[in-house]
Structure 1
Amino acid sequence: CWLNDFQEELVVRPLHSGDIYASFQFRTLWETDFMRGNKEWSLFKMFSRTLTEACPLASSSKIYIDITDNPEHFELSPATSLLSQAMVLGDRRTFSVYDLTQQDTFGSVRSLNLLIRWKSTEGDMLRPLLHAERYVAGYGLQTGEIHTLMYNNHPYRSFPVLLLDSVPWYLRLYIHTLTVTSKGKDNKPSYIHYQPSKDRVRPHLLEMLVQLPPNSVTEVTVQFERALLKWTEYTPDPNHGFYVGSSVISSLVPSTVAMDTNSTQERPLFSSFFPCKEESSYFVRVYTEPLLVNLPTPDFSMPYNVICLTCTVVAVGYGSLYNLLTRSFQIEEPSPGLAKRIANVIRKMRGVPPL
């Protein structure tokens, strides 16, 4: 099989924490020695060699370094004058481009070793426009409350989100207690679908469409009651608790970057990983944390105590009864003493009946 066109790219993005985010047909987080005082990273540390040439089969071979935060947080060497901009999840990022098909990229030594040296670890991490969290509130082992918080960090745009929640049947939801609040006010969902659970058959299914106001936190709360399981349905470690799956939040998040009308410029390959345009929204799916819920747990040591006590009572009672039913009783007269035997001998010699 012959290829008419083959292209490859390596995307490297330095993070504030001193790690490297790289993409070469996959995404990964490359650890560095930043915490041990070595505040630099290079291609030689990643691949144990430098780059000397491009892939012979590639018609386009480029390396992209995210320099949006440069020169505030790190230095890049060798520098290049070739820059490119791309949209990544609604954010315009600037990249330094190293074209490996050009001989000038390798310099006179015919070797390319990109070096990134961090200046400091200070700086705020970028907050996503949409993120969520979930936790369980309440006390005791009878009732509780599930709280789901959805954050919209967009400065001026509101957008709808689809919340999908699947709760096990042993947490019996009280749907009449469902509340949705944003900025201290009630936020009525545009659409709600609820499918009640059946014990030991199917879980609760709650789906709703909620509009998130700009720069706000929307809280969804619902109360539940804990069910008492059969003793055979408990896990080997029931006191650890039972896991409840994550909530799924899906939305088309609007971009914070203005539309770029120049659509004829060359774009990097990795921009096709995100199916969106600058003038449109991009799809985001967020999973919350799983919950760990404690259920009413019986004292599993009680059967052992009952068995021991029952066996003891049966052994004592049955043993005594069996002894009484199987024992034979005989009357035996005690043998006379020495004085009595001597007296009987004398009485016999005198012709007197013995004692």
Structure 2
Amino acid sequence: ELLLSPLPAGGIAATFQFRTRWDAAPGRGGAGLAVLLKAERLFHSSYHSQAVHIRPICRDASCQAVSWELRQTLTVVFENFSGTQGKKDWSLFKMFSRTITEACPLASQSKIYVDTSVKDKELVEVTPSPTSLHEAIVQGEKRTYAVYDLLSPSLFNTSRSLNVQLKMTWPQDMELSTPVLHAHRYVSGYGLQTGKISTLIYNTHPYRAFPVILLETVPWYLRLYVHTLTIITKGKENKPSYIHYQPAQDRRRPHLLEMLIQLPANSVTKITIQFERALLKWTEYPPDPNHGFYFLPPSGALVPSVIAMKELDMEQSPLFTSLFPSSDGSSYFVRLYTEPLLVNLPTPDFSMPYNVICLTCTVVAVCYGSFYNLLTRTLHVEEPSKGGLAKRLANVIRKLRGVPPL
């Protein structure tokens, strides 16, 4: 399945999900949605992420035979494609440089979902006409999706290829909606010895509080000071309901910090912890050590309520419902990721070996050349000559004048 969702900032997110059983023959990449997976276009996007999920599935009610389900997810975010008259034109060909010519012959279900949920229906135009419409409750809001069933015989009758086009018109005075939960993280401090990691978690809901699990994975070369951990909400200390910390081991495992934090309504929670930078071995530095070191962002997960955890027939329901498994508006499961951080570590001057080599070669060349010249040169003693014609004439003149000869 392919889910196309326009973003408030003007971009578009494309999410691929492929599900198959290991006891079934998988299809090849020459038909169906796999045609759009062109590496040249996917890896030159603004953002992309991949995930693989494996789970057992019972074949019958007694669960005597078990099949293994493999689900692969690929999410890609594309930049704006400007159109005319303030419109944003999207199409499969503009995003992937390809169109869909046929459905996978081995697929039992192959669909494309286009999110057309806007207040004014005239702002969004989808071509060609979808085979059906699907409505779902996502994060407490009603969403409408245009569905293209690739297995439908009438879809490829009019043309040999399917190029879904989406035209959106965004008014200039249109306000972008702020997500209920979002996070931000940064590194503060100066110098290359100590620093501080700060994480901001925003809860913009006007009256509801949320429990959030924060999972931090920090590399071992950042020595965390756990006693400096502070959680501040609305100017007051916010004590976590649960905390688990596993210290790192040098060159073996990173720090693991997990906390359950309550986020009050309409609040900003700031989580800070200090660290010290370690000095690595010179063989452990990357080719460009002055650029810095990246480490993974933390993930925050909203704890779902018991009402929201409903049993769904995952084999019959659309795949994209697994991204938002709750249809209840009271609570839903959300996983947030902050931006990755770039930290500079104490870095030695790697040009010094080159300078030492140049200086050593210069000193050896000059000294060795001089000593070799002195040790191998042959010295000859030259006897003084009796002089030439000019000297004899000068001696005759000096003799006539009574002066001693030269």
TM-score of the superposed pair, with normalisation by structure 2: 0.61
- Counterparts of 1:251-266 in structure 2, within 5 Å, are 251-252=302-303
1:336 aligns with 2:386: yes
Paired residue for 2:354?
304
2: distance between equivalents of 1:235 and 1:62? Answer: 42
Q: CA offset at residue 25 of structure 1? A: 6.3
TM-score of the superposed pair, with normalisation by structure 1: 0.69
Q: CA offset at residue 222 of structure 1? A: 0.9
Deviations 1:242-270 (A, max 9, x none): 11111111223579xx99xxxxxxx9857
- Cα 1:38–1:334, aligned 2, differ >3 Å: closer, same or farther? same
1: distance between equivalents of 2:261 and 2:388? Answer: 112
2: distance between equivalents of 1:131 and 1:45? Answer: 32
Q: CA offset at residue 63 of structure 1? A: 7.9
Paired residue for 1:164?
215
- Cα 1:44–1:237, aligned 2, differ >3 Å: closer, same or farther? closer
Paired residue for 2:256?
205
1: distance between equivalents of 2:114 and 2:317? Answer: 9
Aligned length: 321
Paired residue for 1:346?
none
Deviations 1:3-30 (A, max 9, x none): xxxxxx9977666566667789678778
Q: CA offset at residue 136 of structure 1? A: 0.9
1:150 aligns with 2:201: yes
Deviations 1:120-179 (A, max 9, x none): 434223332222121111122222111111122222221211111111122111111111
**Max radius of gyration: which structure?**
1
1: distance between equivalents of 2:373 and 2:93? Answer: 86
Q: Quick check: 176-185 or 27-36, which moved more?
A: 27-36
| C-alpha contact 2:81 2:90 (8 A) present in aligned 1 | no
- Cα 1:29–1:341, aligned 2, differ >3 Å: closer, same or farther? closer
| C-alpha contact 1:88 1:271 (8 A) present in aligned 2 | no
- Counterparts of 1:1-355 in structure 2, within 5 Å, are 34-37=82-85, 39=87, 66-71=116-121, 73-74=123-124, 85-93=135-143, 118=168, 120-122=170-172, 123-252=174-303, 269=318, 272-273=321-322, 274-278=324-328, 281-338=331-388
| C-alpha contact 1:12 1:66 (8 A) present in aligned 2 | no
Q: Compute the RMSD of aligned alpha carbons.
A: 4.8
Deviations 1:202-238 (A, max 9, x none): 2222111111111211111111122222222211111
The percentage of aligned residue pairs carrying the same residue is: 56
- The higher-RCO structure (CA 8 Å, 6+ apart) is 1
Structure 2 unaligned residues grouped into runs of 5+: 19-74, 101-106, 150-154, 309-315, 395-405
2: distance between equivalents of 1:166 and 1:247? Answer: 7
- Cα 1:338–1:71, aligned 2, differ >3 Å: closer, same or farther? closer
Deviations 1:91-125 (A, max 9, x none): 233568999xxxxxx9xxx99x9997655434223
Paired residue for 2:401?
none
